[in-house]
Structure 1
Amino acid sequence: MDRAALALAVDIGGTKMAASLVSADGTVLGARSVPTLPGDAETVFAPLAGLIRETLAEASGRPVVGIGIGTAGPLDLVEATVSPVNILGWRDFPLAPRIAELAPGIPVRMAGDGMCAAVGEHWRGAARSVDDVIVLVVSTGVGGGLIQHGRLISGRTGNAGHIGHTVVDLDGDPCPCGGRGCVEGIASGPSMVAWARRQGWAGESAVDLAAAARDGDKVATQAFERAGRAVAAGIVSAAAIADLSLAVVGGGVSRAADVLLPPLRQAIAEHAKLGFLRDLAVAPAELGNAAGLVGAAALAFDPERYPSTLRLA
C-alpha cells in the first residue's frame, strides 16, 4: 500500500460525531467533532456531512483509500441503515449510502462503534498480539466487539459482540434497550449514577461517582463493585462461549479503572473456574477516545483482516 495513503474515519455517537484522516500506521491526523443534534434525520446528518467534506478536503491530494464508519447501533448491514438508541432522529437511516454520496468512487465500510473500538485496540492498541479477544466500551452505554482467530466477527446483522446486552441479572433493572438485567443497565455511567442516587448519594455524574469512590464513599464504592461484577459476568459468559483469552475494557467509565477493575477482576476469578477460562486476562484499553477512529480506519485499510462489514463502492 502507498505509504502516503489515508483513510477517512468517522465515529458517530449519541453525544458527538467525529471525523479524521488516518494514516496507514494508525496515526489520527487532527480529529475534529461536532455535537450530535436533536431533531429529524436531516438535522442530525447535516453537520456530519459538513464535517466529512471539510475533513476530505484536508487530504490535499494524498490518496484516500476508503471511508470507515463506526456508529452507535443497532445497525443493519444488509440494508446499510442505522437506528441508534441514542439518536432518535435516525430510524432506518441510510447512513452509509448518504456518506458515499459525499465521496463518489471511494469505498465505504461500516460497523458498530463497539466493533470499531475492538478493531482499533486489536490493530494498534492493547490487543495487538492477541487473536481471541473481546473489547468493551463502558460509557453512556456498554458496547463491544469480538475478534476471533485474528478477525472481526460481525455476525448475521452486524451486531455481534454486543456484550452490553448480555443478561446478567434475570430480575434486574430495566435497560434502555427495553429488556432487563443487561450489563448496560447496571454498569453504564448513567445506570451507575441512577442506582447510587436511589441509595441516597447526592452527586450528579459518573466522574463525581468515581471521585467519591476514591474518597471512600460507601454507596459510590458499592456502585463500582456492582458494575464490576456485572461487567465480569458478561466477560466470563462471552469467554465461555467464544473461548477468549483477553478482555480489554475502554470507554469513559473505564477511566476510573482504579475503582472499576479491582472488583471486576475479583469477580472473574470467582466465576471463571473452567480450565480453559483460568488464564482469562483483563487489560485497560490503550487508545482512549481514538479507538473508534483508529478502528474505523482499519476497516478501510485492512478489509481482509476485518471483514464482514458493509461495503459500498
Structure 2
Amino acid sequence: MPAIGIWAVVCGLALLSVEHAVAVWTPERNIEIIVGNKPGGGNDATAREIQRLVQMRHLINASTSVVNKPGGGGAVSIAYLNQQQGDGHHLAISSTTLLTNYARGAGPASYTDITPIALLFSDYIAFAVQAHSPVKDGQDFFVHLKKNPSGMSIGFSSSVGNANHIALALAARSVGVDIRKLKTVIFGSGGETITALLGGHVDAIVTVPSQVLPYMLSGKLRTIGISAPGRLTGLFAGVPTWKEQGVNSVFSNWRGVIGPRGLNAEQIAYWDSVFARLTALDEWKRSLEKNLWLNEYMNSGRTRQYFDAQYQEIKSVLTELGLAN
C-alpha cells in the first residue's frame, strides 16, 4: 500500500477513536441524588455519604445535590425519578422496600420499570429479647413458636410486609412455623420497638443491629440470632447466624442506587465505574463498619439479577402471609 494510503487509514482510525471517545457519556450538569424519605434516617444518610465521598474524592466531574421527595412509602420519589426518563443525571437511593411495595401492590411501578445502578451494602436483621428472657437462643425461640405460633408477641417497625416482617417470616417458615399465626406488633419506628421490648410490652423484636447495639452494651438486651450469611463484627461477633442454629434463612434490607427507566449502556457503564471506585474507598468501608453494614457491592447487571431473585422470594412469603397483591 502506498505511504499516502497507509497514512489515510491511520488518520481514519484515529478519527474513529476520537469520535468514540467523545461518545462516552459523562455528566454535563448537576447530579441529583433522590431520597424517598425526610432528612434523617438510613436512606438519607446513605445519600449524603455518597455525596460527600464523590465530591471529596473527585469521583465525578459535576456538582451533586440530595433531593428529598418523601411520601407514599417511596412512591413519590419513584414517580419523580421516572419523570426523568433516560436522563443519567438523576439517581435515587433504594432499599428492599422497592420490591416489597410492588409485591404488595403498594408501589406505583415495578422494579423492572427503573434502571438498577448498584447494590451498595446489606443491613442484616437482628432478633433480640430482654436480657432476662427465658428464651435463651434462636433454637429456643423457634421451639416456642412451633408449639404455639401466637404464644409470643414479636415487634418490629414500621409496616406489615416490610424487610423486618419478611426476615421473621422466612426464618419461621424454614423451621415449620405457621407464619399466618404469628403474633406481630407494628411500631412507628425502631426506637419505639426497642422501648416496647425494654418495657416488657413484647417478647421479642426484629430490627437492624445498630438499633440493638447500645442495649447489648448496657446488658439490657440479648440478640439471639442474625439473618446474615456469616457473623458480623464487634459485639455481634458473639451472635450466631440463623444458619449456625439450624435455621436455613438469610435475608437483608439492602440499600442501593437506581436510575430512571431508559438509561443507555454508556450511562450505566459510567455509573458502574463510579460506584466500583466509591465502594473500594477506605472511608466508605469505615462508614459501613461503623453502622454494622456489609459491603456487598454489585454492578448494574448483577443488581438486576439480584432484584429478580429476591423479588420471587419476597412474593412467595408475602403470598403465604396473605399480603401479596
Q: TM-score, normalised by structure 1?
A: 0.37
More helix by share: 2
Report the structure number with the largest CA radius of gyration.
2
Q: Which has the higher contact order (CA 8 A, sep 6+)?
A: 2
